[in-house]
Amino acid sequence: MTQKRGRKSAAEIEVVSPVIRLGDRPEPPMSLNDRATDEWRRVVNRMPSDWFTDETLSLLQAFCEHVAEGEALQLMIEKVRRKAMTDDECFARYKQLCTMKETQTRAALSCATKMRLTQQSSYTDKASGTAKQASAGGGKPWDN
């Protein structure tokens, strides 16, 4: 089909283009706890509606579970922290909780990277350098 040259007529402008329905956002699985469900909705609503396909939903579920578990561990760490500095048994528990939290954080980060949710996957090296300069108050390189 060839495209007409020049200005559009009033009749062409009045024609309404067909409405394109975007895909529905995936609902969280029933097996997720409340915090993981909140994380699911936060992530899904932040990304384009077609970002998560059927084959990535289990990875998103794992990510949300790791985030929720990491937050629960952080609450436990805060409870044990004060006693840990004075009691050897509490310190051992504190170290164990910190190790578990690190494991959850690494797992969540791995899932996020695989789903391209991290800043690392959103920027090229050059673009991230420019963004860092701008946020540091450096402005554009040629303005300095």
- Phi, psi torsion values for 21, nearest 5 degrees: -85, 125
Task: For residue 99, give its domain range.
Answer: 29-117
Distance CA 121, CA 113 (A): 7
Report if residue 95 sits inside a domain.
Answer: yes
Residues of the chain above pLDDT 70, percent? 72
Statement: residue 20 has pLDDT above 50 = no
Q: What is the pLDDT of residue 24?
A: 82
pLDDT higher than 60, residue 19 = no
Tally of structural domains, the chain: 1
- What region, left, alpha or beta, does residue 77 occupy, with left being phi > 0 and alpha being psi -120 to 50 degrees? alpha
**Is 62 part of any domain?**
yes
Would the pLDDT of 130 be above 80?
A: no
- Tokens representing residue 106 in the block: 């690494």
CA distance 132 to 119: 12
Residue 51 resides in a domain:
yes
- Confirm whether 111 is domain-assigned: yes
pLDDT tens figures, 92-121: 999 999 999 999 999 999 999 999 988 776
For residue 24, tell me if it sits in a domain.
no
- Kindly report the backbone phi and psi dihedral angles of residue 24, in degrees, each rounded to the nearest multiple of 5, phi listed first: -70, 150
pLDDT digits (tens, 9 = 90+) for 2-16: 677 777 777 666 665
- What does the pLDDT look like over 37-61, one tens digit per residue? 999 999 999 998 889 999 999 999 9
Residue 138 lies in a domain: no
Residue 47 lies in a domain: yes
Indicate the pLDDT class of residue 123, thresholds 50, 70 and 90. Answer: low
